[in-house]
A = this chain, B = another copy of it.
């Protein structure tokens, strides 16, 4: 299992539990058999039974915020979840989510997504509109509802043990490890918790809530401020991630607050809101880095830090452009300090800069080398470069000297295995 190095933040403590770390939430996951092996003739004992159906449930009605993919081809679960949260004014009790089938581009897609909400509501004793539904997997194959219906009692039973690991496994597709993170922090003198889980490995591009992301907290926050915190943090985390430039039809990030930490509800800007937003940033930033290092076929995490831009927007455009470049990604895979490709990717970003003021360095645990000063190449030790690039986390630092705008973006290298995974995915 690939691991990221967790950075420390004053006042925030990493804890276990993922989406179950906050008071009031349970989670579970089971193997429902949503996609049978086409070769097994009903006998699929040869398949590894990875969980493919997950649930998050709250004891109380939660204030809930969500962001969705900007892809104009939207999965049916996106349409149904959006309608549900609009109907309830941002209140939810549960999440039902499956992998192995995206339930997208099917004539009966919305009907099936609504059915998943109904089945969940019936088991949990809530309204179907209080259910968030999500699907991930192959596009354009009819979603079989029978295995989901059959698995529902087992799924609800799995909630009893606060099974966040089982839920995190259930949402995986080509992911090689489950992605969870959680922190403990103080708001208004009360101990609060915030945790989350993510899935995603391919079809990931920075444009609103890439991948599936579920976040829970017991910190009391109004629906409006939850949505504000989620929007602002998505821009700095998930939207700064690119694996392959393909933006999914089914992306969604959902943030639920049970309010069970008993702090005074955060209903406006201020110190409490900032403290809460920082917790959200830490968890989402770490999940983003986990998504990056687990990009399809990836062997390395690439982080690009841009400073000295005219604006944060410009800094972000440049950072994203660099980590999205196929040529930068293959160079990092080949452990080749081919910095000309970094400058090329900076050059086609939608941002202003003065090439004559640009500095670029490459760093990792093994040290740092400057490769470009004032827009021109500088001599560096190829030996030192090779040492730096042999590490798993590679950092590209760009200083523009134009202002105070800064931003980070995360991606991964492009490898033979990306081609292998995606050349053979459906079959």
Q: Which residues of A line the B interface, CB within 8 A?
A: 70-74, 102, 104-107, 138-142, 202-203, 205, 207, 244-249, 324-327, 330-331, 333-334, 336, 338-341, 343-349, 353, 355, 371-372, 375-377, 414-416, 418-420, 422-427
A358 to chain B, nearest CB (A): 9
**In the complex, are the beta carbons of A331 and B425 less than 8 A apart?**
yes
Separation of A424 and B71 alpha carbons in the complex (Å): 35
Separation of A327 and B70 alpha carbons in the complex (Å): 18
By beta carbon, the residue of chain B nearest A415 is: B419
A-B contact pairs, 25 of them (CB 8 A): A71-B344, A72-B347, A72-B353, A72-B355, A73-B343, A106-B377, A107-B376, A139-B340, A140-B372, A205-B348, A244-B326, A244-B327, A246-B325, A249-B343, A249-B347, A330-B423, A330-B425, A331-B425, A333-B419, A334-B422, A334-B424, A336-B427, A338-B425, A414-B419, A419-B419
The answer to whether A377 and B340 touch (CB under 8 A), given A203-B327, A353-B72, A418-B419, is: no
A258 to chain B, nearest CB (A): 34
Enumerate chain B residues within 8 angstroms of A355, measured Cβ to Cβ.
Answer: 72-73
Most buried by B among A338, A375, A423: A423
**In the complex, are the beta carbons of A104 and B422 less than 8 A apart?**
no
By beta carbon, the residue of chain B nearest A333 is: B423
A112 to chain B, nearest CB (A): 13
Within 8 Å by CB of A416, from B74, B338, B419, B426, lies: B419
By beta carbon, the residue of chain B nearest A427 is: B336
Copies per complex of this chain: 2
With A104-B343, A245-B325, A246-B344 given, name 14 new contacts (CB 8 A): A71-B344, A72-B348, A105-B375, A105-B376, A105-B377, A139-B344, A140-B343, A207-B348, A245-B326, A330-B423, A334-B424, A334-B425, A338-B425, A416-B420
Enumerate chain B residues within 8 angstroms of A325, measured Cβ to Cβ.
Answer: 245-246
Enumerate chain B residues within 8 angstroms of A346, measured Cβ to Cβ.
Answer: 72-73
**In the complex, are the beta carbons of B344 and A249 less than 8 A apart?**
yes
Separation of A416 and B327 alpha carbons in the complex (Å): 14
Separation of A106 and B324 alpha carbons in the complex (Å): 25
**In the complex, are the beta carbons of B327 and A105 less than 8 A apart?**
no
**In the complex, are the beta carbons of A334 and B427 less than 8 A apart?**
yes
Q: For chain A, what secondary structure do more than half of its interface residues adopt (helix, strand, loop), or is it mixed?
A: loop
**In the complex, are the beta carbons of A327 and B422 less than 8 A apart?**
yes
A323 to chain B, nearest CB (A): 13
By beta carbon, the residue of chain B nearest A346 is: B73
By beta carbon, the residue of chain B nearest A107 is: B376
Most buried by B among A245, A246, A343, A418: A246
A22 to chain B, nearest CB (A): 33
A369 to chain B, nearest CB (A): 14
**In the complex, are the beta carbons of A246 and B422 less than 8 A apart?**
no
Within 8 Å by CB of A336, from B106, B336, B339, B425, lies: B425
Within 8 Å by CB of A245, from B102, B105, B245, B375, lies: B245
Most buried by B among A202, A249, A330, A344: A344
**In the complex, are the beta carbons of A202 and B327 less than 8 A apart?**
yes
A4 to chain B, nearest CB (A): 23
Separation of A419 and B74 alpha carbons in the complex (Å): 31
By beta carbon, the residue of chain B nearest A345 is: B246
Separation of A324 and B324 alpha carbons in the complex (Å): 13
Enumerate chain B residues within 8 angstroms of A202, measured Cβ to Cβ.
Answer: 327
Separation of A328 and B427 alpha carbons in the complex (Å): 14
